[in-house]
Chains A and B, each alone.
Chain A
Amino acid sequence: MQETLFQYLLRLGDDSLILGQRLSEWCGHGPILEEDIALTNISLDLIGQATSILKYASEIENKGRDEDKLAFMRFENEYLNTLLVEQPNGHFGDTILRQFFFDAFRKPLYERLTQSKDKQLSAIAEKSLKETRYHLKHSSEWVIRLGDGTEESHDKIQKSVENLMRYTSELFYEDKVDLDLQQKGLVCSLKDVKQEWDKTVRAVFHEATLKFPDNNWSFDGGRQGRHSEHMGYILADMQYMQRAYPNMKW
Chain B
Amino acid sequence: MVESTYIWDLLEEVSDPEVPVLSVVDLGVVREVSIQDEQVYITITPTYSGCPAMKTMEDDIRKKLAEHQVKKVIIETVLSPAWTTDWLSENGRYKLKEYGIAPPENEVDKSVLFSEPTRVPCPKCDSTNTRMISQFGSTACKAHYQCNSCKEPYDYFKCLK
A→B interface (CB under 8 Å): 34, 37-38, 41-49, 51-52, 119-120, 122-124, 126-128, 130-131, 133-134, 137-138, 140-141, 144, 204, 207
Closest chain A residue to B109, Cβ basis: A137
A48 touches B49 (CB 8 A): yes
Does B79 belong to the interface (CB within 8 Å)? yes
Min CB distance, A118 to chain B, in Å? 12
Number of residue pairs spanning A and B whose beta carbons lie under 8 angstroms apart? 79
A49 touches B136 (CB 8 A): no
B49 touches A131 (CB 8 A): yes
Min CB distance, A128 to chain B, in Å? 6
Binds A, one of B26-34, B89-97, B110-118: B110-118
Besides A120-B79, A138-B136, 9 new A-B residue pairs in contact (Cβ under 8 A), listed by A number: A34-B134, A37-B134, A44-B52, A46-B50, A51-B49, A122-B80, A127-B49, A127-B82, A137-B111
B110 touches A44 (CB 8 A): no
Q: Could you give 11 example pairs across A and B, Cβ below 8 Å?
A: A37-B134, A37-B138, A37-B144, A38-B135, A41-B140, A52-B49, A124-B79, A130-B161, A133-B111, A134-B110, A207-B113
Tell me whether chain B's interface is mostly helix, strand or loop, or mixed.
Answer: loop
Q: Give the interface size bracket for B toward A.
A: 20 to 34
The contact of B79 among A43, A126, A134, by CB within 8 Å, is: A126
A34-B136 CB under 8 A given contacts A52-B79, A127-B79, A137-B111: yes
A37 touches B136 (CB 8 A): yes
- Closest 6 A/B residue pairs (Cβ): A48-B50, A48-B49, A123-B80, A44-B50, A34-B134, A38-B136
Bound complex: CA of A133 vs CA of B158, how far in Å?
13
A137 touches B78 (CB 8 A): no
Does B51 belong to the interface (CB within 8 Å)? yes
Min CB distance, A62 to chain B, in Å? 19
Closest chain A residue to B54, Cβ basis: A48
Min CB distance, B137 to chain A, in Å? 7
Contacts of B160 in A (CB 8 A): 130
Contacts of B161 in A (CB 8 A): 130
CB neighbors of A among B72-115 (8 A): 78-83, 110-111, 113-114
Bound complex: CA of A66 vs CA of B136, how far in Å?
31
A49-B110 CB under 8 A given contacts A126-B80, A127-B79, A127-B80: no
Does B48 belong to the interface (CB within 8 Å)? yes
